[in-house]
Structure 1
Amino acid sequence: MKLLLDEGLPRSAAARLSNVNIDTIHVSEIGLSAAEDAEIIQRAIEEDRVVVTLDADFHTLLALYEATVPSVIRIRIERLRAQALTDLLVKVINECSEELQQGAAVTVEPNRIRVRRLPLLPDL
């Protein structure tokens, strides 16, 4: 599993995740700190990475374009420090690995993890 951490998440979490064999980079390491969400999504597609973000806009873009990639993990827990984020992402990956590999929008809340397969289609 390869991750791309969005702005707003601790940069040091990338190194911590890499230390537990999860290939992780932070947008600030690759010059995308001020990038538009669509540019971050494109980079994740090119590098076969899962985007990890605090931003709801990524799920909106996936739905708007009926995208099947990349998978996105949206964290809805504020002020996570690097180690707490690392522990949380290890848990999410362990629980949702198959879905993330196939294309999923994952929302992580304090008491639950919600997984929706891509493409995100409107409810009829």
Structure 2
Amino acid sequence: MRRILITLLALCALGTAATALAGSPPDALRLEPPKGMEAAKSPVDFPHGRHTGAVADCTACHHTWDGKAEIKACGSAGCHDQPGKKGETAYYTAFHAKDTNRSCLGCHKTAKKDGKPAPVSCKQCHK
């Protein structure tokens, strides 16, 4: 019985350590454009924790993530790191494209149609 208890405690400790190493997603983020890129509106304080249960999985937003590597910010090199409002790699597009559920605004518009509370006007996100 003692061996079983020790084994269970060791497994719990390993699980806790693995979770700590993997890290957990932050509850809140501040969305700001990459260095060298200017935004016309204020940064957005993003309630990340509120969104983790609202989407099927992390790749709904982090669409290039392989599930293993560290998740990069939207404005990271090779993602949405281009200035302007046009094209898939534009920083603005990652948040404002209206025709896709991979953008904040697109997903919020879909949620709004489904009767769920979701901000869709500029001032609701850009305080």
Report TM bin, short chain.
under 0.3
The TM-score, its normalising length taken from structure 2, stands at 0.25
Larger Rg: 2
The TM-score, its normalising length taken from structure 1, stands at 0.26
Structure with greater proportional strand content? 1
Instruction: Considering Cα pairs closer than 8 Å and 6+ residues apart, tell me whether 1 or 2 has the greater RCO.
Output: 1
